Chain A
Amino acid sequence: MDRRPSFPHKHLLGIEQLTPDEINLILDTAYSFKEVSTRTIKKVPAMRGKTVINLFYEPSTRTRTSFEIAEKRLSADSINIAVASSAVAKGESLKDTAKTLMAMNPDVIVLRHQHGGTPHFLANMIDASIVNAGDGIHEHPTQALLDAFTIKEKKGQLKDIIVAIIGDIAHSRVARSNILSLTKLGAKVRICGPMTMIPRDCEKMGVDVKTRLADAIEDADIIMMLRLQLERQIEGLFPTLREYNRLWGLTSQSLRHAKKDVLIMHPGPMNRGVEIDPEVADGEHSLILDQVENGIAVRMAALYLLSGSDQQEHEKS
């Protein structure tokens, strides 16, 4: 008998659908999986015989690699489909792609897509579990989970931890998922960036909005920098990279406003010299490589729990 804990969801579409207990279950499960990656033989049989398709409609190196390693360490058979080398580039609709993939009976589809809500659309159409690996400007739940795991690992807990998220909040799925998970876990979240990048009514998500970087990072336990998409300059959301770096970049100078033991995170890939200066990214406060490492454990946990719920469903029927 498999003694895996029961997880009531078939899909991981976003943090929105998860309760604090469910988030903690994923984090606790990830904690035990982290050890697997330190073994000489980095493999457990938890998903042996399961097929996972990594369906990526956007270029991604770190997220796709992280998922692929997680799947392989769980002994799943994983297949990568990237948009440029598939039928999608020839204009096949997502619905047809989904039907074609379903005919191959995968157990899990990990989906990265440039349009928000696409994992929900796919989940309504097919039988496999869907894991959202980032949908448009909407959510990126596994990133938020690995961030929560990393903070918890360093700080012991999330309750009352002050987290400042800096950058393009409006167009960031990382920010959205992190705001949801951190507030659910009792952290205090501040957001800061140019007002052109602060979405409407985001206070309703339970965050404080700061316009000055110094105010946002003062007393913060964690500073989470977001990647600046350079096309936002063309859209007119900020004047120049130089000015962005001056007002919202995390530099040794601006870091003086923060606590001595502040920890710094970035989901990557970084624009060094824009949102974060090299000496900060590589400095002693940086958790950036811990995030990458923990990403594997968290994704193993999520895949493991989801395939468990799938198993129970089959047992019932």
Chain B
Amino acid sequence: MLIIKGGRVIDPKSGTDRVMNIFIEKGKIFKLAAARSQVPEQFENADVIDASGKLVAPGLVDMHVHLREPGHEHKETIASGCNAAAAGGFTTVVCMPNTEPVNDHPSVTDLMISKAAEHGGARVHPVGAITIGLKGEALSEMGGLKEAGAVAFSDDGRPVMNSGIMRHAMEYARGLDMPIISHCEDLNLKAKGVMNESSNSTRFGLRPIPVQVEEIMVARDISLCELTGARLHIAHVSAEASLRHIRAAKKRGLPVTAETAPHYLFLTDEAVGTYDTSTKVNPPLRSNSDLASLRKAIADGTIDAIATDHAPHSPVEKEVEYEVAAPGISGLETSLALILRLVDEGIISILRAIELMSLNPCRILGISGGTLDEGADADITIIDQDNKWIVDPSKFKSKGRNTPFSGHEMKGVAAVTLVRGRIIHRAGT
């Protein structure tokens, strides 16, 4: 028995934005009631979380993280990644299959799910590989992966370069009613590129990656979506050029959704000029106009979800030459504060922010969560939106301290994160 009292409840599904009490019984939401209404009899002796002055939202869902286990436990483990998720306000994370071994077999999916259950924090939903070993050649056992608990298929980190294989993957996934998450990158066009192609790549003397590396594959996969009817989700959109194709596809009613990551909404390729490898990410940080277009796209619905692409690395992979460094940003513990800044700046409403970070990821993947419906599991994030803090990667719960936001001032933290009515994180502890 638990009451979350006096918080400003934000529930995009019902459009709720007002001060209410939430009553939780046996890990489920019993009911929401006006702040001054009578406490139901059975809650008279319940525990109380005072949420006055805070936001109370359905638990945040990050549909794109790398937990690195099995195989790369020096970068992250399922336990450390789940702790980072809880600290960042996430009740659910969706983990990519580029582990070692690759999650291309039900036994790996099983292992991930049982490790997460053993840890008992944030929920973990694995994504299965599209192809064996992420090689882009032979389809993985998608049916078995689905039975084991995979919620989507992706070769994330690598594109499926062969359009014929991608076609079959999408057809096959459609038969299983599963979405395909596409990492859009034309590897031949990318060649040895490491940063966005612009006047800055010319200045910094780093090999360039034009936006067309992404755009071409977005366009191809939208064409294949039309051919196959499969549900297609475009991962980590970084470029204005890609948005044009996504917008047009949605207008034509194709089952296409898309996500972007917080770093593309705040940083540009100008940041690469220090050769700080924490700015190296794939796709790369783009131009100001890409950033502005992405900010518009999260507001107008072209982009459906915000996902961190949390990619923890150890110093071994990051404290090296820029061109040699592994791409990726440790994002779980800065995402919420960054998106709250967009709310402060009037780019999106708080309801839209929670929709992008909770409701929509659940809808795209067909998983539970994202709402405060009565009877739903009590996965809830209580947000202290006024709490100011400085990003100090050494204090991260994640093993990955690779963030370009180190030293930045942030506003807003997850005060309490609850899964099934149980507290998995409380700020300051």
Find chain B residues with CB under 8 A from A136 CB: 205-206, 323
The 8 A CB mask of B313-355 against A (1 = contact, 0 = none) is 0001001111110000000000000000000000000000000
In the complex, which residue of chain B has the Cβ closest to the Cβ of A169? Answer: B202
A94 touches B199 (CB 8 A): no
B199 touches A117 (CB 8 A): no
Q: A51 contacts the other chain (Cβ, under 8 Å)?
A: no
Q: Give the interface centre of A16, A116, A199, A201 by most chain B CB atoms within 10 Å.
A: A116
List CB contacts (< 8 Å) of A90-140 with chain B. Answer: 93-95, 113, 115-118, 120-121, 135-139
C-alpha spacing A200/B207, complex, angstroms: 11
A172 to chain B, nearest CB (A): 9
C-alpha spacing A173/B204, complex, angstroms: 10
C-alpha spacing A199/B198, complex, angstroms: 9
Given contacts A117-B275, A120-B274, A235-B191, contact A200 B208 (CB under 8 A): yes
A117 touches B201 (CB 8 A): no
C-alpha spacing A202/B208, complex, angstroms: 13
Interface size class of A (residues with CB under 8 A): 20 to 34
A115 touches B202 (CB 8 A): no
C-alpha spacing A93/B316, complex, angstroms: 9
B206 to chain A, nearest CB (A): 5
A199 touches B275 (CB 8 A): no
Find chain A residues with CB under 8 A from B204 CB: 116-117, 138
C-alpha spacing A255/B320, complex, angstroms: 45
Q: B408 contacts the other chain (Cβ, under 8 Å)?
A: no
A201 touches B202 (CB 8 A): yes
C-alpha spacing A56/B155, complex, angstroms: 39
C-alpha spacing A139/B205, complex, angstroms: 7
In the complex, which residue of chain B has the Cβ closest to the Cβ of A138? Answer: B205
B205 touches A176 (CB 8 A): yes
Interface size on B, residues (CB 8 A): 22
Q: A314 contacts the other chain (Cβ, under 8 Å)?
A: no
B322 touches A201 (CB 8 A): no
C-alpha spacing A204/B324, complex, angstroms: 28
The 8 A CB mask of A62-100 against B (1 = contact, 0 = none) is 000000000000000000000000000000011100000
Find chain B residues with CB under 8 A from A44 CB: none
Q: A205 contacts the other chain (Cβ, under 8 Å)?
A: yes
Find chain A residues with CB under 8 A from B203 CB: 16, 205
A126 to chain B, nearest CB (A): 13
The contact of B321 among A16, A117, A139, A235, by CB within 8 Å, is A117
Find chain A residues with CB under 8 A from B275 CB: 116-118, 120-121
Find chain A residues with CB under 8 A from B202 CB: 176, 199-202, 204-205
The contact of A135 among B205, B210, B274, B319, by CB within 8 Å, is B205
Q: B215 contacts the other chain (Cβ, under 8 Å)?
A: no
C-alpha spacing A61/B168, complex, angstroms: 54
In the complex, which residue of chain A has the Cβ closest to the Cβ of B210? Answer: A200
The 8 A CB mask of A163-179 against B (1 = contact, 0 = none) is 00000000001001000
Given contacts A200-B197, A200-B198, contact A137 B205 (CB under 8 A): yes
B190 to chain A, nearest CB (A): 13
B201 touches A199 (CB 8 A): yes
Q: Give the interface centre of B203, B204, B205 by most chain A CB atoms within 10 Å.
A: B205
B323 touches A115 (CB 8 A): yes
List CB contacts (< 8 Å) of B253-297 with chain A. Answer: 274-275
List CB contacts (< 8 Å) of B195-245 with chain A. Answer: 197-199, 201-208, 210
B33 to chain A, nearest CB (A): 56
A200 touches B201 (CB 8 A): yes
B199 touches A204 (CB 8 A): yes
C-alpha spacing A317/B206, complex, angstroms: 37
B201 to chain A, nearest CB (A): 6
Find chain A residues with CB under 8 A from B321 CB: 94, 113, 115, 117-118, 121
Q: Give the interface centre of B198, B202, B206 by most chain A CB atoms within 10 Å.
A: B202
The contact of A137 among B191, B207, B316, B322, by CB within 8 Å, is B207
B199 touches A116 (CB 8 A): no
C-alpha spacing A94/B320, complex, angstroms: 7
The 8 A CB mask of A211-233 against B (1 = contact, 0 = none) is 00000000000000000000000
List CB contacts (< 8 Å) of B156-210 with chain A. Answer: 191, 197-199, 201-208, 210
The contact of A117 among B198, B205, B319, by CB within 8 Å, is B205
C-alpha spacing A163/B288, complex, angstroms: 33
Find chain B residues with CB under 8 A from A121 CB: 275, 321-322
In the complex, which residue of chain B has the Cβ closest to the Cβ of A173? Answer: B205
B320 touches A116 (CB 8 A): no
C-alpha spacing A139/B70, complex, angstroms: 41
C-alpha spacing A235/B191, complex, angstroms: 9
A258 to chain B, nearest CB (A): 27
A75 to chain B, nearest CB (A): 33
B324 touches A115 (CB 8 A): yes
Find chain B residues with CB under 8 A from A205 CB: 199, 202-203
Find chain B residues with CB under 8 A from A118 CB: 275, 321-322
B201 touches A115 (CB 8 A): no
C-alpha spacing A94/B206, complex, angstroms: 18
A116 touches B205 (CB 8 A): yes
Find chain A residues with CB under 8 A from B207 CB: 137
C-alpha spacing A16/B191, complex, angstroms: 27
A10 to chain B, nearest CB (A): 16
C-alpha spacing A205/B204, complex, angstroms: 12
C-alpha spacing A66/B321, complex, angstroms: 26
Find chain B residues with CB under 8 A from A113 CB: 321
Find chain B residues with CB under 8 A from A117 CB: 204-206, 275, 321-323
In the complex, which residue of chain A has the Cβ closest to the Cβ of B316? Answer: A93
A21 to chain B, nearest CB (A): 21
C-alpha spacing A155/B313, complex, angstroms: 53
C-alpha spacing A135/B202, complex, angstroms: 14
A295 to chain B, nearest CB (A): 21
B205 touches A200 (CB 8 A): no
B322 touches A115 (CB 8 A): yes
Which positions in A face B, CB cutoff 8 Å?
16, 93-95, 113, 115-118, 120-121, 135-139, 173, 176, 199-202, 204-205, 235
- Ordered nearest first, which 5 A-B pairs have the shortest CB separation? A138-B205, A117-B275, A201-B199, A115-B321, A116-B205
22 contacts between A and B (CB under 8 A): A93-B319, A93-B320, A94-B321, A95-B319, A113-B321, A115-B322, A116-B204, A117-B205, A117-B275, A136-B206, A137-B206, A138-B204, A138-B205, A138-B206, A139-B205, A176-B202, A199-B202, A200-B208, A200-B210, A201-B198, A204-B202, A235-B191
**Beyond the given A115-B324, A117-B206, could you list 8 further A-B residue pairs with CB under 8 A, ordered by the A residue number?**
A93-B316, A93-B320, A121-B321, A137-B207, A199-B201, A200-B199, A200-B201, A201-B202
